Structure 1
Amino acid sequence: MKVALLGGTGFVGHYLTEKLLQHGHMPRLLVREGSPHFSKQTQPFEWVRGDIEDNKTLRRLLTGVDAVIYNIGILRENPSKGITFEKLQHEWVVKTAELANDQQVKRFILMSANGVDLGLTPYQKTKLAAEKHLPGSGLDWTVFRPSVIFGNPYGKLEFVTMLKRDIIDSPLPAPLFYEGLLPSNPGGFQLSPVHVEDVAECFVSCLDKPETYSDIYTLGGPQRLTWKEILTIIAKTLGRRKLMLPVPAFAPTLAATALDRFPWFPISRDQIRMLLKGNVCSGERIFKLCDIQPHSFDEETLNYIAAQTGEG
């Protein structure tokens, strides 16, 4: 099967490309002009250089393929460069779906996110709007909603590596965020970290499974871990003990209000808001269907962060 992959040059895209090749498919990646494509795959694959906003480029990408995986998403906007949630996570999904239909490409898999139905932020609202377009699109669609994704990033942005860099490596105590004025259960909000290998395997395994058509699957790892537990496991993997202190959420929120327009500031107001709501879901239904034994979030699975610095 030949598969058009949008968002194939980032963290999750690397694993999607590799899984497609492992399963005997031929990925065709969209690569932006002026953006070098880094790949560790040794097997051949196709790519189309250009921008998704160019209809001709998008048509070239979709011509002659059997399926589309839309994996484009952002955590922060940069409106001055035309990078917005509305464009990347809604408008371009609609455009890609319409052109796929024009090209007689019926299989369409969308990367969404757990919690989008809460509709708390523009990130969530645009992801949900893209999901809602698919039922009337005429496509054989499947939506995946993962929790936070972790795994060896090969130089890309990734959940655990960012926490190591911004919190564990910092000389300051690790913040255990809480809402309100009094420290009630600081750092107690929960997440279900899911390994990128498991995410990619689900996407690729479902390409030719009609039973997954017109369905939405959550993708959470096998554990429900608190923020404090996650930071503790990361520090332990590195052979460290990290001091942690309760921090009221309004403090970083105020800082983000003033500074999150700058790319160097590590977190946005909306990211803080979503984080405090937690991100817990189960992947059991799709893991069972695809015969996947999911990775645990533990020292053995996280050894890539220790290997990067020779720690642990």
Structure 2
Amino acid sequence: MSKLVTVFGASGFVGRHVVRELARRSYRVRAAVRRPHQAVFLQPMGAVGQVQLFQSNIRYRSSVEDALHGADACVNLVGILAETGKQKFGSVQAGGARHVGEVCAANGIANLVHVSAIGADPDSDSDYARTKAEGEKAILDAVPGATIVRPSIVFGKQDDFFNRFAGMTRLAPALPLIGGGKTKFQPVYVDDVADAVARLVAGEAPTGGIYELGGPEVLTFKECLQLMLKIIGRKRALVPLPFFAASMMGRAGDIAAKLPIVQSPITEDQVKLLKRDNVVSSQGVKTFADLGITPDTLDAVLPTYLFRYRSHGQFSPEVPV
């Protein structure tokens, strides 16, 4: 345990799995998070003292400097799907990434893995996608040899996609198909993404450049919901919702989200994202094949955590997939 890796966003959905994979490879992990008291679940992922909780906020350069002091490598996983309070796309995904890249460069940390997203585009009308691209550029400007990882939609026990729509089936008689449900996804299992990041940090795969990570299946939004419904054994109508209507819903959700007790089901920016397919590029990027990883399928993983949305939970009769 001689090497120290600072992981920004360690307590997030992907971050907790990255911490586990790095600990398995005997790295010391400095888990840089905004609220350490809510991240104590990370410590048992390693031996005693192997995972250190560290208060840090990448919006502030001095905080990033403290978190990277003495580190041998860095992983940046920080990102947001919607703006809340001081957490803005520009300050987190673009400005925060710039702080990480510049401080790594100043400290001679060349082993840097930055997790972005498929769809990152400097010309996108989506604030999320545009600032993801700005963050990538800031990282590579500071550390040209850094590795950019772009996963498609990530699924797993704590995901915010299949869990969200499966949860809606408990009350809603129908589910919306935004844009007619034609948007294509290439869902990727969170454990496979974490394994990829850890292999890159450990030098077990070619570093530098861009990796786009997608699972073995390309499904439309509609097909994803149909598979989810089949697994949980529920029948719900799938109602097409045109983009203009979804945008209006998202705009109303953005306004409602400003109230402290309201969580918007979708934002206007997320509707913009759904206008573009979220699949691995056909050329110019590296993939799981370059990492020596065979990604898991949806059929193999979804039933292991979506069973709780069945009418009788784990005691429901098995539903064939």
Deviations 1:70-99 (A, max 9, x none): 100001112xx3110001001111111111
Task: Check the 8 A contact 1:253/1:269 in 2, yes or no.
Answer: yes
Amino acid of the structure 2 residue aligned with 1:292: I
Q: Secondary structure of the residue that 1:60 maps to in structure 2?
A: helix
Superposed structure 1 runs of 4+ greater than 6 Å apart: none
Deviations 1:30-52 (A, max 9, x none): 12247521425342311212433
Q: Spell out the pairing of 1:211-250 with structure 2 (5 A cutoff).
A: 212-250=206-244
Q: For residues 100 and 111 of structure 1, what CA distance do their matches in structure 2 show?
A: 15
Q: Secondary structure of the residue that 2:298 maps to in structure 1?
A: coil
User: What is the aligned partner in structure 2 of residue 181 from structure 1?
Assistant: none
Amino acid of the structure 1 residue aligned with 2:127: P
Q: For residues 217 and 299 of structure 1, what CA distance do their matches in structure 2 show?
A: 24
Indicate how the Cα distance of structure 1 residues 42 and 216 shifts in structure 2: closer, same or farther if over 3 A, else same: closer
Q: Spell out the pairing of 1:159-238 with structure 2 (5 A cutoff).
A: 159-166=161-168, 168-178=169-179, 186-209=180-203, 212-238=206-232
1:277 CA drift (Å): 1.9
TM-score, normalised relative to structure 1: 0.87
Indicate how the Cα distance of structure 1 residues 136 and 245 shifts in structure 2: closer, same or farther if over 3 A, else same: closer
Question: Which of 38, 41, 53 is the aligned partner of 1:39?
Answer: 41
1:152 and 2:157 matched: yes
TM-score, normalised relative to structure 2: 0.85
Task: Check the 8 A contact 1:236/1:299 in 2, yes or no.
Answer: no
1:173 CA drift (Å): 1.3
Unaligned runs of 5+ in 2: 258-262
Q: For residues 51 and 120 of structure 1, what CA distance do their matches in structure 2 show?
A: 27
Indicate how the Cα distance of structure 1 residues 248 and 56 shifts in structure 2: closer, same or farther if over 3 A, else same: closer
Indicate how the Cα distance of structure 1 residues 258 and 172 shifts in structure 2: closer, same or farther if over 3 A, else same: same
Task: Check the 8 A contact 2:253/2:266 in 1, yes or no.
Answer: no
Amino acid of the structure 2 residue aligned with 1:89: Q
Indicate how the Cα distance of structure 1 residues 241 and 172 shifts in structure 2: closer, same or farther if over 3 A, else same: closer
1:211 CA drift (Å): 6.5
Unaligned runs of 5+ in 1: 179-185
Q: Spell out the pairing of 1:297-308 with structure 2 (5 A cutoff).
A: 297-298=298-299, 300-307=301-308
Q: Identity of paired residues, percent?
A: 27
Q: How many residues align?
A: 299
Indicate how the Cα distance of structure 1 residues 244 and 55 shifts in structure 2: closer, same or farther if over 3 A, else same: closer
User: What is the aligned partner in structure 2 of residue 101 from structure 1?
Assistant: 105
Amino acid of the structure 2 residue aligned with 1:212: P
